[in-house]
């Protein structure tokens, strides 16, 4: 969501009988921090929905961890632009069609850390 921020700055200098006044106005558009986490993807190399990626705006830092059903991390990243292709952390093999859990810790600009958890379904 875009928000407009308008600041009006008035400075008055009165060293003489007639004060000097300066008025400045700054109009700026900014995005509220937001995050999107897909709940499934299809890494079958058909060119559609082959990767899983957390997307967001207004994010200062992020930590992404995807776990297998035994709680072992299989994908980790601190890069908002990182993508997961369904392979394990080492890229040795591709994981099975299952449901995986994730934790995403993210810090919006000028705000406190937020934690999101959920599931990802891999469908081939």
| pLDDT tens sequence across 38-55 | 999 999 888 889 999 999
Of the two residues 56 and 17, the one the predictor is more confident about is: 56
Give the structural domain span for 38: 33-122
Q: Would you state the pLDDT for residue 2?
A: 56
- Answer whether residue 18 is part of any domain: no
Q: Would you state the pLDDT for residue 20?
A: 54
| Residue 70 belongs to domain with CATH number | 2.60.40.1220
Q: Would you state the pLDDT for residue 82?
A: 95
Q: Are 25 and 8 in contact (CB under 8 A)?
A: yes
- Answer whether residue 13 is part of any domain: no
- Answer whether residue 53 is part of any domain: yes
CA angle in degrees (0–180, nearest 5) for 38-123-57: 15
- Answer whether residue 111 is part of any domain: yes
- Report the domain count for the chain: 1
| Interior/surface letters 22-52, b for 16+ CB within 10 angstroms, e for the rest | eeeeeeeeeeebebebeeebbbeeeeeeeeb
- Answer whether residue 93 is part of any domain: yes
């Amino acid at each position: 969501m875009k928000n407009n921020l308008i600041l009006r700055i008035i400075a008055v200098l009165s060293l003489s009988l007639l004060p000097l006044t300066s008025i400045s106005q700054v109009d700026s558009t900014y995005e509220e921090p937001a995050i999107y986490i897909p709940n499934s993807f299809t890494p079958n190399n058909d060119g559609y929905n082959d990767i899983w990626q957390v997307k967001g705006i207004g994010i200062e830092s992020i930590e992404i961890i995807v776990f297998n059903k035994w709680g072992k991390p299989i994908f980790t990243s601190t890069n908002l632009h990182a993508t997961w292709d369904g392979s394990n952390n080492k890229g040795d093999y591709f994981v099975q069609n299952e449901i995986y859990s994730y934790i995403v810790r993210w810090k919006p600009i000028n705000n406190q850390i937020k934690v999101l958890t959920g599931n990802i379904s891999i469908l081939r």
